[in-house]
Every structure is written in C-alpha cells, then in structure tokens.
Amino acid sequence: MSRRPIATALAVAIVTLAVAFAHAGPADYLMPVEKHTTPKGRALATKYRPQLLEFSDYVYHCLPYVEIRNGLGFKRLPKETVDNRYASVWVRAEQAPDPTFAAMPLERQASAMFSRYGVPMLSRMAALPGLDADPDVYGYSVAVEWIKPGSNPNIATMEILAVFADKASTKAFLNKTLPSADYVQGMKLNFFDGDKEVGRLPIEIWDDNFVSTYKVPGYELEKGKVCS
Amino acid sequence: MRSKIATVAALIGVAFLSGACATSEQWAEWRAHTTHFASGDHASFSMGNNMQGTNPKVTRLDIDKSRQENWWGRTITVEPGQVIQN
C-alpha cells in the first residue's frame, strides 16, 4: 500500500478534527429549541436566539472562569404546572479551594457566590433587548454552582444555588429602587448540597465588582471580541 | 507534488495538535494554582500564572480543551430537572 493515501487520510482526519474543535463555541451553550417542553418555551427560544447567542458569547469570551451549564434558554420552576417562563442561565464558577471561603458559614458562601456571579448574570440577562417588554417572559433565573469546600477532589460535590425572580422586582433591584433584602424575600430560592435538596437559605446580596473588573492574567481575548 | 502537499498538511495538523496540548498543560498549571474565592476584595486574589518567570498565554480554546479533559472527574450533584425544568 502506498504511503500517499495514508498521509492524505491522516492529514484530512487531523484537519477535520482541528476544524471541529475550533468550531465548538458559544452556540453550544444554548439549550436547543426542541428541548423546551412547551410551545411557549420553544417560541421564546426561537425568538430570542440572537440575544441568547450574544449572552453566551459574552460569557464564553469575557468570563473564561465561568462555564454555562445545562443550556441557556427559557425555563421554569421545577414541579410548577403553570408555564411561567424565565430567561435562565446556569453557571459553574471555577475556583480553587480557599480556606477563607471554606471558613464561611454556608449562607455566607452562597451569598458570596450569588453576589459575585449571580447578580452580573441577572443584570446581563435583564438588559437583553426585548425581554423586559415581552409578556411571555415571566422573569429571570440564575443557578450558580461551585465545588463544595473540602469535598473529595476526585469526586467533587457540587453546591448549587438557584433563584427565580419576576421581571419587575429584578428591574427594581438592579435600578436600586428595591432593597436587596426585599428582592431576596420575594424570589424563589433553592440550595442543593451534592445530591441533596437543602431548600431556602437566608442569603444576602452585596456589591461585588469582580466580574466587571477582574482580568485573567495571560488570557488572550479572541481577535475581534470586545468585553464590556 | 500531491504527496508533498499531503505530508505538509499532516505536519501542520500534528503541529497544531501538539501545540494545543502544550498550551493545555500550561493552562492546567495555571489553573491548579489559581485562587478564586468568593469573598474579600480583588487585591487578595492571587493568580499563580507564572512559569519560569514568564506569563503563559491562555486562549479560550485552551480552556475548552482542558474542560474536555474533565478536570474534576465525576461530580456528586442533583439532576438538572430538580433545579430547573425545561
């Protein structure tokens, strides 16, 4: 057998792999339209796909220490029968073990993670064109997950804080016309420790400008991308 | 001539992949020493992004690759449907 076909096949395979790898990106983090379980959900996912792509593109390129999980889309509260759709993002915040964080009580950890990562996500989503005026969008939902301090590094235990809030109170909170404590009180909130549902935690929200100011050392933003 | 083109293409492909792996290792090193934590101010964030006195460059592609390698292995967590419904 000639070496030429082998070399050609190898080259084609490698280039194909490289191209496929290079094309994985922000669009992959959107939940496919057909996975939305109701017509309203599918309609919203179709209508706002450009906005969701823009959101995903921002997270993907500008917040490399955050990863969108389980699909960006229009989702609803578990077990809720009414089809209230929330613009939803679930993010995993990647952080190394830290004794300061580990020493905080659980509700402070959850408060810190939500203040740091959840609020910027809410703010970004609430600013997406069209959502605020759309009566089919009930509100916004953010789930933040992180590795539980002290968990087995080989089988990490994830902690998840999920919140659901209506549009009006979110807007008021972001505009600082609604105190954060009132906003928290009005939101639906659930905390999960590994595979256990813990329920509501008394979280607080405070100002945290990490996401808007932190730059990963050595990180090269893709040409043509702007983070603002 | 075609043989030469195929060989060059193969070499470029191999170089691309091996380069990506090397950078991925650098990213691994970077991340292993990264300290993010959700309290305190930015001044206390320490990013151990130093290899032999130089700052390695990390691209978004490197991060994708490292995630594909599944750093954290398996996780203990709930089903997504318990958190949010599609």
For residue A184, the 8-state DSSP code is: H
Residues 112-151 of A with CB under 8 A from B: 112-113, 115-117, 141, 143, 145-147, 151
Q: Searching chain A, which residue's CA lies closest to the CA of residue B47?
A: A217
Spatial contact of A64 and A93, defined as CB atoms under 8 Å apart: no
CB-based contact A143:A170 (threshold 8 Å): no
Nearest-neighbour CA in chain B from A163: distance (Å) = 9
Closest in A15, A95, A221 to B38, CB measured: A95
The tokens for A102 are: 């580990």
- Terminal-to-terminal C-alpha distance of chain B: 55
pLDDT in tens, A176-225: 999 999 999 999 999 999 999 999 999 999 998 888 888 887 888 989 99
pTM of this structure? 0.78
List the single residue in A with minimal CA-CA distance to B61: A22
- In this prediction, residue A74 carries a pLDDT of 98
Chain B residue numbers touching A101 (CB-CB < 8 A): 37-39
Q: Would the CB atoms of B31 and A4 count as touching at under 8 Å?
A: no
Q: Which helix (H) or strand (E) holds A142?
A: strand A137-147
Length of chain A: 228
C-alpha dist (Å) from residue A107 to A157, A202, A208, B44: 17, 6, 16, 22
**3-class SS of residue A121:** helix
With vertex at residue A110, the alpha carbon angle to CA A215 and CA B47, rounded to the nearest 5 degrees, is 25
Higher pLDDT, B6 or B76: B76
Q: Classify residue A120 as exposed, middle or buried by CB count within 10 Å of its CB (0-12, 13-18, 19+).
A: buried
CA atoms of A78 and A63, how far apart (whole Å): 28
Apex B85 CA angle, B83 and B86, nearest 5: 135
Burial class (CB in 10 A: 0-12, 13-18, 19+), A23: exposed
Which residues on B lie below 8 Å from A117 (Cβ)?
38
Q: Which of A148, A141, A136, A146 is nearest to A126 (CA)?
A: A141
* Among A7, A22, A209, beta carbon nearest to B6: A7
As a whole number of angstroms, the distance between CA A58 and CA A123 comes to 13
With CA atoms as reference, the chain B residue closest to A197 would be B78
Q: Does B4 touch chain A (CB under 8 A)?
A: no
Judged against a pLDDT cut of 60, whether residue A150 lies above it is answered with: yes
Residue A172, pLDDT above cutoff 70: yes
B 20-49 residues inside an 8 A Cβ radius of A: 30-40, 42, 44-45, 47, 49
- For residue A29, pLDDT over 50 is answered with yes
| pLDDT score for A14 | 52
Q: Do residues A217 and B55 lie in contact, with contact meaning Cβ atoms separated by under 8 Å?
A: yes
Q: Tell me which of A24-28, A111-115, A140-144 is least confident.
A: A24-28
**Among candidate residues A46, A18, A50, A22, the one with its CA nearest the CA of residue A32:** A46
| Burial readout A79-103 (b: 16 or more C-beta within 10 A, e: otherwise) | eeeeebbbbbbbbbbbbeebeebee
State the sign of the Cα–Cα–Cα–Cα dihedral B50, B56, B60, B64.
negative
A40-49, A153-162, B33-42: which range is least confident on average? B33-42
Closest CB from A7, A36, A80 relative to B86: A36
Q: Is the dihedral of CA A51, A37, A120, A61 positive or negative?
A: negative
pLDDT of residue B75: 87
pLDDT, mean of residues A165-184: 97
Partners of A121 on chain B (C-beta within 8 Å) are none
Residues 6+ apart with CB under 8 A from A81: none
Per-residue pLDDT band for A9 (boundaries 50, 70, 90) equals: low
Chain B, nearest residue to A159 by Cα: B77
pLDDT tens-digit profile of B11-51? Answer: 554 444 444 443 555 444 434 444 444 433 332 223 333 34
Which residue of chain A comes nearest to B34, CA vs CA?
A: A96
CB contact at 8 A, A207 and A115: yes
Complex-level ipTM: 0.83
Helix (H) or strand (E) holding A3: helix A3-23
